[in-house]
């Protein structure tokens, strides 16, 4: 019997014409955050995301 691999679920958090921020709930329980800036994507774990948000809010 084949094992079922849990799927990653995603949710768009914010989107403009050129940029996208989305969240992924990984099968291992980790939540990751992703920022797509044209052809560059930044990937963050929860702790990194929290620190990045603090940085942006301090601007």
pLDDT score at 1: 65
- Which pLDDT value is given to residue 3? 77
pTM assigned to the model: 0.83
* Domain regions of the chain by residue span: 9-57
Assigned token pair, 21:
């921020």
CA 2 to chain centre: 29
Q: Mind listing the pLDDT tens digit of every residue in the chain (59 residues)?
A: 667 878 899 999 999 999 999 999 999 999 999 999 989 999 999 999 999 999 999 99
Residue positions counted in the chain: 59
Q: Which two tokens stand for residue 51?
A: 């620190």
Is the distance from CB of 7 to CB of 27 less than 8 angstroms?
Answer: yes
């Amino acid at each position: 019997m084949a094992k079922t691999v849990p799927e990653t679920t995603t949710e768009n958090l914010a989107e403009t014409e050129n940029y996208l921020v989305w969240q992924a709930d990984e099968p291992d329980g980790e939540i990751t955050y992703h920022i797509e800036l044209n052809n560059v994507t930044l990937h963050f774990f929860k702790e990194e995301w929290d620190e990045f948000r603090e940085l942006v809010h301090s601007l």
